[in-house]
């Protein structure tokens, strides 16, 4: 087939087909200054591109829960207030930047714990599996879930708590 037909079939431009031919990405021969593309080789190249696209979509759409738990822990570390900043240390226990920091840090630590719990609850072979399922069910009941599936809803709880941490961190105001 010619380069125009090959480009239409592959969903790419004609210059891309010519580049593939020159580089040997697809089998082709040059006759009278024009490329003649092998249909089977082009079909194989299209299939490789489709597999790559699927793999990229899976990588993009599948969150790395261990990385998210680490992110929540890092947020908690960054939100550790200086000594003496607890609201109880202030006259009247007024809500200020320090107490907002403590609140945000608590949400971040809770998010990290929920990510870890969900990992354990979704792995039946883990030694803490039953304990993690029970604890997640407790958290789900407090969050208002009537039915709870650790595999489906556990990460939702963790993401919600991480959102709470980020919102609380964004709402911290400087004290005057």
Same domain, 47 and 69: no
Enclosing domain of residue 91: 65-170
Q: Is residue 175 included in any domain, yes or no?
A: no
> Residues 125, 85: contact at Cβ < 8 Å?
no
Q: Is pLDDT of 81 > 70?
A: no
Same domain, 56 and 72: no
Q: What is the pLDDT of residue 170?
A: 67
With bands split at pLDDT 50, 70 and 90, how would you rate the model's confidence at 93? Answer: very low
Q: What is the pLDDT of residue 112?
A: 85
Q: Is residue 7 included in any domain, yes or no?
A: yes
Same domain, 69 and 107: yes
> Residues 145, 127: contact at Cβ < 8 Å?
no
Average pLDDT over residues 83-106: 54
**Token duo for residue 46:** 């299209």
Q: What is the pLDDT of residue 100?
A: 64
Q: Is residue 121 included in any domain, yes or no?
A: yes
Same domain, 14 and 57: yes
> Residues 13, 7: contact at Cβ < 8 Å?
yes
**Token duo for residue 175:** 């004290």
Collect all residues with Cβ–Cβ distance below 8 Å to 53 and sequence separation of at least 6. Answer: none
Same domain, 121 and 102: yes
pLDDT in tens, 13-69: 998 899 888 888 889 999 998 999 998 888 878 776 655 554 444 444 556 677 777
Q: Does the pTM exceed 0.75?
A: no
Same domain, 126 and 144: yes
Neighbours of 73 (CB within 10 A): 17
b/e 107-124 (16+ beta carbons within 10 angstroms → b)? bbbbbbbbbbbbbbbbee
Rounded CA separation 132/150 (Å): 9
Same domain, 86 and 157: yes
């Amino acid at each position: 087939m010619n380069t125009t037909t090959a480009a239409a079939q592959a969903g790419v431009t004609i210059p891309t087909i010519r580049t593939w031919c020159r580089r040997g990405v697809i089998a082709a021969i040059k006759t009278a200054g024009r490329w003649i593309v092998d249909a089977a080789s082009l079909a194989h190249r299209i299939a490789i591109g489709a597999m790559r696209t699927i793999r990229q979509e899976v990588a993009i759409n599948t969150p790395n829960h261990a990385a998210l738990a680490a992110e929540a822990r890092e947020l908690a570390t960054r939100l550790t207030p200086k000594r003496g900043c607890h609201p109880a240390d202030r006259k009247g226990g007024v809500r200020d930047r320090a107490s907002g920091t403590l609140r945000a840090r608590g949400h971040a630590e809770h998010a990290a714990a929920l990510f870890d719990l969900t990992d354990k609850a979704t792995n039946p072979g883990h030694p803490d599996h039953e304990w993690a399922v029970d604890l997640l069910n407790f958290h789900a009941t407090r969050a208002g879930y009537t039915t709870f599936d650790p595999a489906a809803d556990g990460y939702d709880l963790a993401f919600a708590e991480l959102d709470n941490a980020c919102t609380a961190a964004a709402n911290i105001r400087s004290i005057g």
